[in-house]
Amino acid sequence: MDTVPQRVLEYLTEVEEAAEDILTTKQQIVDLDTKRNSNREALNALKDDIPDSEKVKVCFGNMFIKFPKSKTKEMIQRDQEQLDKEINDLHKGLKAKVNNLNELQGKPELRGYNLSPLSSAEIKAINGILKR
């Protein structure tokens, strides 16, 4: 008789852990997206009339350091690429986590959730076919 409440408790714990993992992943995506937006703002600020040979002040933690404008742009762009990659990886992992949670809860798998957008080459091919 003690085993039934124990199994229920284990099941609820497993569901709660899966849900917590999803929420953590979503928060990571939000945090990375906030950083990506800050980087985008910085890149737009560097588009001003400042020549590439001049130095700009960059904030690292709680310090400002002067760097050449071109190097600063390169650093931010590399950071943007890394952030984009991390966000895409988290989004892909999130789909599997949500499906796992639905499975644990006995819900059917989400339909259309695994769709991905067409690539630019695929769009060009479709447009070429439609224009005939």
User: What are the pLDDT digits (tens) for 28-70?
Assistant: 999 999 999 999 998 898 887 777 778 888 888 889 999 888 8
Q: Residues 55-67, buried b or exposed e (16+ Cβ, 10 A)?
A: ebebeeeeeeeee
pLDDT of residue 55: 87
94-107 pLDDT per residue, tens: 888 988 898 888 88
Instruction: Give the whole-angstrom CA distance, residue 53 versus residue 35.
Output: 26
Residue 109: CB partners within 8 Å, gap ≥ 6? 99, 102, 103
Instruction: Give the whole-angstrom CA distance, residue 18 versus residue 98.
Output: 8
In the chain the domains, ranked by start, together with CATH numbers, are 3-130 (1.10.287.370)
pLDDT of residue 103: 87
Instruction: Give the whole-angstrom CA distance, residue 95 versus residue 106.
Output: 16
Q: Which residues in the chain belong to E strands, given as ranges?
A: 55-60, 63-68
Q: Which residues partner with 60 through β-bridges? A: 63
Q: Which of 33, 28, 14, 23 is nearest to 98 (CA)?
A: 23
70-94 pLDDT per residue, tens: 888 999 999 999 999 999 999 989 8
pLDDT of residue 78: 95
- pLDDT of 1 higher than 60: no
- The mean pLDDT of the chain is 88
High-pLDDT (> 70) share of the chain, %: 94
